[in-house]
Amino acid sequence: MLLSDSAAWAGAYLALEWTIRVVMLVVVPFRRSPDAARSWLTLVFFLPIPALAIYLLIGRPTYPRWRRDRFAKLPKLLAIAIKQIAHSHFCRRPFLPSNLEEPALLIEKLGQFPTLAGNDVEICPNYDQLIDNVVSDINRAKRSVHLLFYIFADDATGRRVMEALGQAARRGIACRVLIDAVGSRRWSRRVVKTLTSHGVDVRRALPVGLLRRRSARADLRNHRKIAVIDSRIGYVGSQNIVDAALDRGLVNEELMVRVTGPVVLELQAVFAADWFMETDQVLDAPVLFPHRAPGDGAVAQVLASGPDYPDAGVGLLVTALIHGARERVVITTPYFIPDEALVQALKTAVLRGVEVSLVVPHETDHLLVHLAQRSYYADLLRSGVRIHSYREQFLHAKHITVDRDIALIGSSNVDIRSFVLNAEVSLVVYDRSVVQLLRLEQDRYFAASEVLTCEAWKARSILTKTCENLARLAAPLL
């Protein structure tokens, strides 16, 4: 009897596994890239029941219906801000040469924000100096301070910023802070408690919890790093509010930009959109989107991307920029997990005579991601892409220059997670002087890097190659 029962249970289990395999074979490829489908189906074939559980948790890069419904209201609720950004005399549209018109139009179609002239852009590669600048600008704030950061720590750096926010709030300045609930989870309770006690309105973005009525998915995160002070000064880039030496003995090296001018209003609009998504509060007061006399300066625009913006993929922009390159492309990123379209764009650019360089850190804080990204190097090296392994610190900066005319600086890595799953923000600047300043930083990276070669890369051990290739199978899921 027991033997018969065991055989029946085994048969039922086997039938369940094969049912999952067959159903997933139909479901998984729907509206998914071939690489992602292949990774999911490999997992399903070997581990069907765990694969189904994981797929139900993180298999579809979409937010819950209530959040999608709220996002659908956003354009109407922010109509005043969008109108002021697009039509005020302060936010005048610039003339662009023909080679820049196409990327500018693409960005506007993807993220709604137009190109705006009259911006001053300052490159900020010094970690501690950046924090000094942010604190100083908060101390001089007269109306509002808005911060949105993936990581906001209760450490020496975080406490400096919190103290500045507290002093601003006591002066009557409207201070609002958004922190990602997962990225800041180690410190979020203390940060929220401290800022609230100072009179700062602070919220967790995309909170996660089994018992939460509106819990977010743990893998869909708000990865943006934005500061906007008085709608006049903006910061955007890769750096979080946390000590440089965060984990495992690694010291982060970052790059942010400090901007003044009309493009700051686009950063303000991104913050206002995220604030509405988390609080259902509309920030459209005219004081947050002021008119000022236009000045000289760089042409720039902002692209917000993420699951809330299904057509605003920063990956699509990066691929398009590489296809449009004529002379030189330099990509700096801590995590490099490209999709097939990006790999082909890089190879095609080299064949067209474009000098393509990739700068990645030698050290890592995510071993599986590091192994997966190394699996792409051999193919890129053979095609002529130059890969620079930066050895001084953990290079967490995220920026791209294209020829002498275009600089992209933001929070997005060059990986599938940033392209599809994370909410990101990018500042695109069309200005030769800004590109030249960024290229000076890139030249400094080159000088502190080991240049990888095909011959040396081929000499890796069989074990190393095997681990990298196995990690690559999971690349679309990382």
Percentage of the chain lying above the pLDDT 70 cut: 84
Read off the pLDDT of each residue in 349-359 and give the average, rounded to a whole number.
Answer: 98
Quick one: pLDDT at residue 1? 46
Q: In this structure, are 256 and 124 located in the same domain?
A: yes
Question: In this structure, are 224 and 350 located in the same domain?
Answer: no
Q: What is the mean pLDDT of the segment spanning 148-165?
A: 97
| DSSP bridge pairs for 409 | 399, 427
Pair (87, 148) in one structural domain: yes
Return the minimum-mean-pLDDT range out of 203-207, 245-249, 264-268, 441-445. Answer: 245-249
Residue 351 scores a pLDDT above 80? yes
pLDDT of residue 111: 83
Whole-number pLDDT of residue 57:
62
Q: Where residue 457 falls among pLDDT bands split at 50, 70, 90?
A: very high
Residue 78 Cα to chain centre, angstroms = 23
What mean pLDDT do residues 369-386 have? Answer: 94
Tokens 């010291």, residue?
Answer: 251
Do strands 252-253 and 394-395 pair parallel, antiparallel, or not at all (unpaired)? parallel
| 76, 179: one domain | yes
pLDDT at 33 over 70: no
What residues make up the domain containing 32? 2-58
**Residue 142 is among the residues annotated as catalytic for this protein:** no
Q: Tell me, yes or no, whether 306 lies in a domain.
A: no
Please indicate, yes or no, if residue 337 is contained in any of the structural domains: yes
pLDDT of 149 strictly over 70: yes
Average pLDDT over residues 413-433: 92
Please tell me whether residues 118 and 87 are part of one structural domain: yes
Decide which of 327 and 71 is more confident: 327
Asked if residue 304 is part of any domain, the answer here is no
Of 251, 267, 299, the residue at which a domain comes to its end is 299
* The pLDDT value given to residue 309: 72
Q: How many domains does the chain have?
A: 3
Specify whether 119 is located in the same domain as 197.
yes
Output the pLDDT for position 4.
Answer: 60
pLDDT confidence of residue 21: 78
Residue 370 designated active-site = no
pLDDT tens digit string along 196-249?
A: 999 999 999 988 866 566 666 677 889 999 999 999 999 999 999 999 987 667
Residue 95 has pLDDT above 80, yes or no: no
Shared domain check, 353 and 289: no
Whether 396 is a known active-site residue: answer: yes
Instruction: Give yes or no: 243 in active site.
Output: no
Q: What pLDDT sits at residue 408? A: 98
> How far, in Å, CA of 417 to CA of 421, rounded?
5
Task: Say whether both 276 and 336 belong to one domain.
Answer: no
Q: Which of 299, 331, 363 is the last residue of a domain?
A: 299
Question: For residue 169, what are its two tokens?
Answer: 């709030």
pLDDT bracket for residue 253 (50, 70, 90): very high
Which two three-digit tokens encode residue 298?
Answer: 């760089």
Q: Is 201 annotated as catalytic? A: no
Distance, CA of 367 to CA of 116 (rounded, Å): 41
Residue 17 is predicted with a pLDDT of 76
267 domain-assigned: yes
Write down the pLDDT at residue 468. Answer: 86
pTM of the model: 0.88
DSSP for 427-472? Answer: EEEE-HHHHHHHHHHHHHHHHTEEEP-HHHHHTS-HHHHHHHHHHH
Does residue 360 fall inside a structural domain?
yes
In a domain, 16, yes or no: yes
CATH of the domain at 407: 3.30.870.10
What is the C-alpha to C-alpha distance for residues 150 and 364, in angstroms, rounded to an integer? Answer: 19
Q: What is the mean pLDDT of the chain?
A: 87
Domain membership of residue 307 (yes or no) is: no
| Lowest-pLDDT choice from 167-171, 211-215, 368-372 | 211-215
- 22 or 133, greater pLDDT: 133
Q: Which of 70-79, 195-204, 422-431 has the lowest mean pLDDT?
A: 70-79
- Domain endpoint, select from 251, 269, 299: 299
Pair 431, 121: CB distance under 8 Å: yes
Query: Of these residues, 137, 154, 198, 223, which one is catalytic?
Result: 223
Q: What is the DSSP string of 331-371?
A: EE-S-EE--HHHHHHHHHHHHTT-EEEEEEESS-S-HHHHH
Question: What is the structure's pLDDT at 293?
Answer: 64
Kindly state the average pLDDT of the residues 106-120: 88
Instruction: Say whether pLDDT at 2 is over 60.
Output: no
Give yes or no: 225 in active site. yes
Q: What is the pLDDT of residue 237?
A: 97
Q: Is the pLDDT of residue 170 over 90?
A: yes
Is residue 36 domain-shared with residue 93, that is, in the same domain? no
350 and 471 belong to one structural domain: yes
pLDDT tens profile 279-325: 988 887 778 888 766 667 899 999 999 887 766 689 999 999 999 99
- Residue entry with tokens 């659908």: 72
The one catalytic residue among 243, 365, 403, 465: 403
Are 144 and 268 members of one domain? yes
Residues 204 and 320 in one domain: no
pLDDT at 206: 86
The one catalytic residue in 146, 198, 225, 388 is 225
Of 180, 230, 274, 415, which one is the catalytic site residue? 230
Given the residues 180, 396, 415, 431, select the one marked as catalytic: 396
Which ranges in 115-229 belong to alpha helices (H)? 127-139, 156-170, 188-197
| Average pLDDT for 102-128 | 91
How large a percentage of the chain has pLDDT more than 90? 56
The answer to whether residue 109 sits within a structural domain is: no
